[in-house]
Structure 1
């Protein structure tokens, strides 16, 4: 049975979905079978990085949660579905599946109005691991701490917590770390994202580790090149030789493999 990795942040705007998609792709490029589930049902976005739009998504995680489809029927083989799009040929040799949340306005409104049985998520995650024979299932969570996010963290083998060098992020992340500890998550890692180049990255890493007593898997710069990509593609695969991509791969190794050496 593969590992479940929750990718979480206390606030929006940290680059969580972008990092989750890049980490999933980096793992798949190492030969692993990887799934990525967008559980940010109120504001889904992971599908954009892989070139999906509304016309391509006839089923979504919502359909599983409302009893309309088995969860494996909501899993799209990224390497078969969008790899023929311009600029996405790198997906063809990979084995990746996206389980998106619906981007239809009516279905998002239904979630807000009626909710759903959160308990189905745990069952669904393990079904995906089994049916798709996944090595890793990455969960792109909803920011903050709500019921589905708590469950996603609770059933995970590891959680990667994304934060920016911002006082609001620092305070909210402390709550997330405390909750993850109470839920007995086996492994936790911090990823500091969007750090200005003029900052001392080593100092930031040391400060974050001292503040939370959690290892920092890496510190990523605020990159103009990544920003210019505008979530239109998976940056680390499109530009594999870019310094940001190299750092992302090191961070992915650290999160997925607990015995890997820490990133300097």
Structure 2
């Protein structure tokens, strides 16, 4: 049975999509078949981390929601984008990463905003994707904030991972989302503190966040010059596997798997 993991943040700019991509790559490195759906339709971007040329994409999540294709037809095999610093693909046999991207075309983003879509179609698409691609894990990269799509993603998740920065606005927004998730009885709730300055005491920060929310803190991830330099051009997990960020990704995966 596919395990569904939603990654969410109350505000934008937390590094949610970057972390989602690195987690998916990490699961594939462990031999799992992983799907990612970029439901951040208003500001998609996870495809760049897997070096997908958006002009070569035939179908997107938008096309599925408008009835132009099946959801599996919009899924790209991006396993070849999980590479090390030499450019070699590092995923072992059996591991796979599939991505259902959202459209980056201005007109199609505007149409979604104007006409909306049936959220139930999204739920159906998740289930069909899991079955048709025989996925071990499905990762849903959500749109920041709280809306109908977010509530659906939270409600069907086995794991909800909330990404926050060490910032008062993120703290308050995370409390709101956690309250919703608890009412929806999500089986596993995890917090990830991202973009912490390297001068911070990470253990102390993790303890303070746990004390505030009474929710496990899976990792505190650093903001460093290396991460800024890489940006959205690749996956830190495979480009720099000994980096503190990559090690944090592995710690999160341990909690998800076990």
- TM-score, normalised to structure 2's length? 0.95
Aligned-pair CA distance for 1:123: 1.1
Taking the TM superposition and a 5 Å limit, the aligned residue runs for 1:96-135 are: 96-135=97-136
Q: CA RMSD in A?
A: 1.7
2:204 is the alignment partner of 1:203: yes
Secondary structure of the residue aligned to 1:119 is helix
SS of match in other structure, 1:89: coil
- In the alignment, what sits opposite 1:250? 251
- Matching residue of 2:69: 69
Structure 1 residues 129-154: Cα deviation after superposition (integer angstroms, max 9, x where no partner) = 11101000001100001111110111
C-alpha separation in 1, matches of 2:204 and 2:83: 43
- Matched residues in 2 for 1:237 and 1:40: separation? 24
Q: Which residue is equivalent to 1:50?
A: 50
Task: Please say if residues 157 and 185 of structure 1, whose CA atoms lie closer than 8 Å, have aligned partners that are also in contact.
Answer: yes
* Counterpart contact for 1:71–1:124, Cα < 8 Å: yes
The corresponding residue for 2:172 is: 171
Q: Look up the SS of the partner of 2:73 in the other structure.
A: helix
In the TM superposition, what are the counterparts of 1:233-248 in structure 2 within 5 Å?
233-248=234-249
Q: In structure 2, how many angstroms separate the alpha carbons of the residues matched to 1:89 and 1:180?
A: 40
Residue 89 of structure 2 aligns with which residue?
90
The residue that corresponds to 1:23 in the other structure is 23
Farther off after superposition, 175-184 or 83-92? 83-92
Cα deviation, 1:104-126, whole Å, max 9, x if unaligned, reads: 11110100110011111111111
What is the alpha-carbon distance in structure 2 between the residues aligned to residue 47 and residue 226 of structure 1?
18
- TM-score normalised over the length of structure 1: 0.93
- SS of equivalent to 1:134: coil
2:29 pairs with 1:40: no
Give the corresponding residue for 1:186: 187
4+ long deviations beyond 4 Å: 82-88
Deviation of 1:214 (Å):
0.6
Task: Tell me, yes or no, if structure 1 residue 212 matches structure 2 residue 242.
Answer: no
Which 5+ residue runs of structure 1 have no aligned equivalent? 260-264
> CA separation of 1:29/1:92 partners in 2, compared to 1, >3 Å: closer, same or farther?
closer
Give the C-alpha shift of residue 87 in structure 1.
Answer: 5.5
Alpha carbons 1:90, 1:237 under 8 Å: kept: no
